[in-house]
Structure 1
Amino acid sequence: MELVCPAGTPAALRAAVEAGAHAVYCGFADETNARNFPGLNFSREEMAAGIAHAHARGAKVLVAINTFPRAGAEPLWHAAVADAAAAGADAVILADIGLLAHTAERHPGLRRHLSVQAAAANPDAINLYAEAFGVKRVVLPRVLTVAEIAAINREIDVETEVFVFGGLCVMAEGRCSLSSYATGRSPNMNGVCSPASHVVYAEEGPDLFARLGGFTIHRTPKGAPAPYPTLCKGCFTSGPQTGHIFEDPVSLDATALIPALAKAGVRALKIEGRQRSRAYVAEVVRTFRAAVEAVAAGRPMPEGALARLSEGQARTTGAYAKTWR
């Protein structure tokens, strides 16, 4: 299986390639990609240089142009596709139907992958994207079980890519009404989920309050670990229950499920983390490359090597092997 690894900066791209990534995904430094944060992403010159560096070492580069264009601003997204093609990208990762149609018409030789932002989670939807826009691979949402993924693969004729480590989105991938409501910024249009510019920490009495867009997401005793106020991992009261209603503040780690995912027909394993450091990227990529090679060779996989890199040092297999509350 292909190991698809994150690169938020040119340094992270080089680290991922040197650590053994089969492919690296990254985006331009503007709102055309869903990790539009200050200090991240690539200029046009950096993208061309990064692609050349990866190709010289046998790795691919996939350019994420996976936000939804604003009405009247389509030329910005069209230019991103053209620039990715000119730089020699191996594929573009797209979500918007209009942008998929534009790319298929204007750049027919450029390989098209369907972003997880499109939230295509059944054979009918995936086959439509393949037939109408020539999509060759779909990144599946993180809300499917392994059995559901296997069933989907039996009814489609395109590659599937799944997340195996990093941040865990429990919503319909990028369509988070909670984050949009709290901050006024859409994750799949502005490229920002729970943006740092809307985060405030404040000490009130014996507790530390973490707020997002004016909403209290966590309240912890002073001196205790305070998680980042991501809405889906916040503490809420629902009926008689108070706690993490949607999901605990943990990281996805599906290392142990790699053999099952391979049997289910998954073609590529994706690591989340374009906001992470190059040291983090290198360590995660090395570990997963060893795991993928072990599976291919029929050897036992290394386990637990990434525990300290998980959010709150806690891990979950997400929907792959559990039922929702």
Structure 2
Amino acid sequence: MELVCPAGNLPALKTAIDAGADAVYAGFRDQTNARAFPGLNVDEAELREGIAYAHARGRRVYLALNTYPDSARLATWHAAVDRAAQAGCDAIIAAEPAVLDYAARTHPTLARHLSVQGSATTAPALSWMHERFGISRAVLPRVLSIQQVERLCERSPVPLEVFAFGSLCIMVEGRCQLSSYVTGASPNRHGVCSPAKFVRWDEEPDGGRTVRLNGVLIDRFAEGEPAGYPTVCKGRFDVGGEVFHALEEPTSLNTLELLPRLARAGVAALKIEGRQRGAAYVRTVASTWRAAIDRLARDGGDWAAQPAWQQALAAHAEGHQTTLGPYHRAWH
């Protein structure tokens, strides 16, 4: 299984490669990708440098072009495809049919991966994308159980990539409306949940902090309480007089214990979420998963998740908690 790691900037890209990633994924500094935070991503020169660094070590670089342009801005996404091809990217990761179509017609030798934002969760959807746009891989949304992943691996016309570790999205990716409901800026069109210009932190007299998104109170943290980047889905709200994480608690997906089962199912690639995270996160998570994958290849049926691996991953998990999320549930 290919280990695909995040590269929010050039140092993170090199760190991921050095830590054992088979491939990294990055984005340009614009709204063509779904992590368009200020100060994040790469320019063309950095992308070329990163590709040269990866290729010299036998690794690959994928470019995320996974947001949805409107018709007035489609030329920007087309230009990004051109830039990816000219820079020597090994593949683009896209969701919008118009972007995939342009890439297939204009740069047929540039591999096309269907983004998780494409929300393809059935064999017919994957077949249509393969037949129409020639995708060579699809990234599955984080809403499927392990049994559903196994069935899709049996029926999919293309290799499948699944999220293995990182922040969870409770929505069917590509269809979330929460951020745009509060801010008017859709993450699928503007490249980020909770755009930074709408976020406001305030210190409270008791030493705590509050965070608001476009004036809407999202959460209140006690003094010394860890606080992640604020998104509506992971905020705390007053529901019937009780304040709690009404939609989702801050926690990270961790499928390490499922690694043998994912391998048996035929999963082609394991994706680590976290382009918004720093090099320390990338180094720890990539090296841990590299060790686990290599040990599985060596030990086979005798493989077991090591406590040290789980401890390392938990230390970098959101809210210092991990979960199997929808991979494991009582109903199917």
Tell me whether 1:167 sits opposite 2:162 in the alignment.
no
- Report the counterpart of residue 257 of structure 2 in structure 1: 256
Counterparts of 1:125-144 in structure 2, within 5 Å, are 125-144=125-144
Alignment partners' CA distance in 2, 1:17 and 1:190? 29
- Report the counterpart of residue 315 of structure 1 in structure 2: 322
Deviation sequence 1:205-225 (CA, Å, 0-9, x none) = 655322212211223334433
- Report the counterpart of residue 17 of structure 2 in structure 1: 17
Higher helix share: 2
Displacement of 1:238 in angstroms is 4.4
Instruction: Confirm or deny: 8 A CA contact 1:28 1:41 kept in the other structure.
Output: yes
Deviation sequence 1:63-102 (CA, Å, 0-9, x none) = 1111111222222111111111111111110100111111
Alignment partners' CA distance in 2, 1:293 and 1:268? 14
SS of the equivalent of 2:70 reads coil
- Report the counterpart of residue 65 of structure 1 in structure 2: 65
Alignment partners' CA distance in 2, 1:221 and 1:15? 34
Instruction: Confirm or deny: 8 A CA contact 1:6 1:272 kept in the other structure.
Output: yes
Alignment partners' CA distance in 1, 2:268 and 2:139? 10
Alignment partners' CA distance in 1, 2:203 and 2:42? 37
SS of the equivalent of 1:73 reads helix
Aligned residues: 324
User: Which runs of no fewer than 5 residues in structure 2 stay unpaired?
Assistant: none
Deviation sequence 1:26-74 (CA, Å, 0-9, x none) = 0111111111111111111111111111000010011111111122222
Instruction: Confirm or deny: 8 A CA contact 2:60 2:90 kept in the other structure.
Output: yes
Change (3 A) 1:315 1:62: same
SS of the equivalent of 1:34 reads coil
**Which region of structure 1 is more displaced relative to structure 2, 252-261 or 126-135?**
252-261
Counterparts of 1:87-236 in structure 2, within 5 Å, are 87-204=87-204, 206=206, 208-236=209-237
What code does the residue aligned with 2:89 have? A
- Report the counterpart of residue 3 of structure 1 in structure 2: 3
Deviation sequence 1:82-126 (CA, Å, 0-9, x none) = 111111111110100111111111111111000011111111111
Displacement of 1:3 in angstroms is 0.1
Alignment partners' CA distance in 2, 1:168 and 1:320? 11
Moved over 3 A (4+): 203-208, 220-228, 237-242
Alignment partners' CA distance in 2, 1:40 and 1:226? 20
Change (3 A) 1:45 1:119: same
SS of the equivalent of 2:25 reads strand
Deviation sequence 1:211-270 (CA, Å, 0-9, x none) = 212211223334433443211111234457642222111111111111121122211000
Provide the TM-score with structure 2 as the length reference.
0.93
SS of the equivalent of 1:64 reads strand
SS of the equivalent of 2:294 reads helix
Deviation sequence 1:129-185 (CA, Å, 0-9, x none) = 011110111100000010001111221120110111111111121422111111121
SS of the equivalent of 2:247 reads coil
User: Which runs of no fewer than 5 residues in structure 1 stay unpaired?
Assistant: none
- Report the counterpart of residue 276 of structure 2 in structure 1: 275
Percent pairwise identity: 51
Alignment partners' CA distance in 1, 2:99 and 2:27? 16
Change (3 A) 1:40 1:243: same
Displacement of 1:290 in angstroms is 0.4
